[in-house]
Amino acid sequence: MDRVKGVDVKEPGYGFKLAEEGGTERYRGTEFDVRAVVARIPHEVKDQLRYDEVPWSRFGHFHGAADDVPGLLADVRSGDVGTADRALGVLWNRMFHQGSVYSAVALAVPFLVRIAADLPAYRRVEVLQLVAKAGRRPHDGDSSRTGLLQTAYQAGEWYFDPWAYPQNWSVEAVQDAIAADAQLLLPLLDDPGSEVRRTACHVLAASPGQVRRISAALHGRLGAEDVPEVRVSLVLAIAELARGHREERLAVEWVRAMWSDPAQAAELRLGAAIAWLCLVDGPVPGELSAVFDDTVTEEMSAVMERVPWIMTRIPWMQETPDDAPGLGFSRCLAQLLGTYTPQPPQDDFW
């Protein structure tokens, strides 16, 4: 079914027409609800990468109907580095253009997870970064205490992409796909590549299901991990899962014990301090401020720049002047501590 009251959903802009036809409630759970569509993709279709058996035309990205996505996914999986890089760049642009999350990315995620599980490490990272981005509400650089570890939209909070399709549904569909394929993602926590391990943390932290299993795996990996930025990523992932599922109490006690212990490694104390700030309300206690004074060095700032929650850009994309070393972490820390002052826009922006 590709028509609703004469509306051709293959045409760019169909979302506006669907909204006029009755809004989101009318199409909840139907073939136009990307969450329901992703949940119904048969396992054999996903496992065998049978892209063409997914209704791409019914959903869209920045340029309209998503019929081109199967070819892009095939290119990502190709053995040619240039072809894969170009396809990833196109996917990134079309799925997240100007801060939106488009519905087609949710259909792509089950395949991207399988591609990541099968690719060499140098390509696996980029694919996982795309999945992690898709599984979070667009935060527009919000590194505040309420924003840094927030993956889902607030209750009653609705956002729509430029085609008027609910971004809430797109993000929820991705998160559900992550939970459904956790068994494919968990082994990546033990991958030989530290970039893969830290990015896998970021992906898994967005899961709305299998929370205890994932949290246990993260805790288990923390005991064996020796790369500082991965250790911080594990701490933040555990805290993010606890925050998203209202299990903050135990997480608060755990991270407080970590940041208040001078015998802990500096990166663990710093990561735990950041997590604690995101899990509690109220003013910053003096003893926590002292932890920042003791641990935030130039070397540690460089470590934190490699933590996915704090990275200001995707490493395989072109840098901009705003991506100066240390800027992302210093801005993040200022937002967390409430001392950040946004810079006014430049007069010559346009």
- Looking at the structure, tell me whether residues 102 and 205 fall in a common domain: no
**78 lies in a domain?**
yes
Q: What six digits make up the tokens of 231?
A: 């250790």
Task: Give per-residue pLDDT as tens, 183-218.
Answer: 999 999 999 999 999 999 999 999 999 999 999 999
pLDDT exceeds 70 at position 9? no
Q: What is the pLDDT of residue 12?
A: 45
pLDDT exceeds 70 at position 316? no
- Looking at the structure, tell me whether residues 164 and 210 fall in a common domain: no
pLDDT exceeds 80 at position 318? no
> Given 135, 162, 180, which residue is the final one in a domain?
180
**350 lies in a domain?**
no
- Looking at the structure, tell me whether residues 38 and 92 fall in a common domain: yes
- Location of structure tokens 């200022």: 334
Q: What is the pLDDT of residue 273?
A: 98
Give yes or no for a contact between 234 and 222, defined as CB atoms under 8 angstroms apart.
yes
Mean pLDDT of the chain: 87
Q: Using 50, 70 and 90 to split pLDDT, how confident is the model at 348?
A: very low
Q: Using 50, 70 and 90 to split pLDDT, how confident is the model at 21?
A: low
- Looking at the structure, tell me whether residues 105 and 42 fall in a common domain: yes
pLDDT exceeds 50 at position 349? no
Q: What is the pLDDT of residue 320?
A: 40
CB-based burial of residue 252 (10 Å sphere; 0-12 exposed, 13-18 middle, 19+ buried)? middle
- Region of residue 55 (left: phi > 0; alpha: psi -120 to 50; beta: else): beta
- Looking at the structure, tell me whether residues 164 and 283 fall in a common domain: no
Q: What is the pLDDT of residue 99?
A: 85
Q: Domains in the chain: how many in total?
A: 2
pLDDT exceeds 90 at position 302? yes
Q: What is the pLDDT of residue 254?
A: 97
Q: Using 50, 70 and 90 to split pLDDT, how confident is the model at 246?
A: confident
- Looking at the structure, tell me whether residues 272 and 170 fall in a common domain: no
pLDDT exceeds 50 at position 73? yes
- Looking at the structure, tell me whether residues 62 and 80 fall in a common domain: yes
Q: What six digits make up the tokens of 209?
A: 């299901």
What's the mean pLDDT in 165-190? 96
Q: Which of 173, 175, 205, 177 is nearest to 189 (CA)?
A: 205
Task: Give per-residue pLDDT as tens, 105-126.
Answer: 999 999 999 999 998 877 899 9
- Looking at the structure, tell me whether residues 169 and 247 fall in a common domain: no
**111 lies in a domain?**
yes
- Looking at the structure, tell me whether residues 104 and 225 fall in a common domain: no
Whether the full predicted model's pTM is greater than 0.75, yes or no, is: yes
**348 lies in a domain?**
no
- Looking at the structure, tell me whether residues 107 and 198 fall in a common domain: no
Q: Which of 338, 341, 310 is nearest to 139 (CA)?
A: 310
Task: Give per-residue pLDDT as tens, 94-109.
Answer: 999 888 999 999 999 9
Q: What is the pLDDT of residue 346?
A: 52
pLDDT exceeds 80 at position 141? no
Q: What angle do CA 250, 254, 257 make, to 5 degrees?
A: 140
Q: What is the pLDDT of residue 350?
A: 35
- Looking at the structure, tell me whether residues 20 and 162 fall in a common domain: yes
- Looking at the structure, tell me whether residues 167 and 229 fall in a common domain: no
**344 lies in a domain?**
no
**347 lies in a domain?**
no
Q: What is the pLDDT of residue 164?
A: 85
pLDDT exceeds 80 at position 299? yes
**279 lies in a domain?**
yes
Percent of the chain exceeding pLDDT 90 equals 69
**135 lies in a domain?**
yes
Question: What's the domain range around 332?
Answer: 188-314+323-339
Q: What is the pLDDT of residue 157?
A: 84
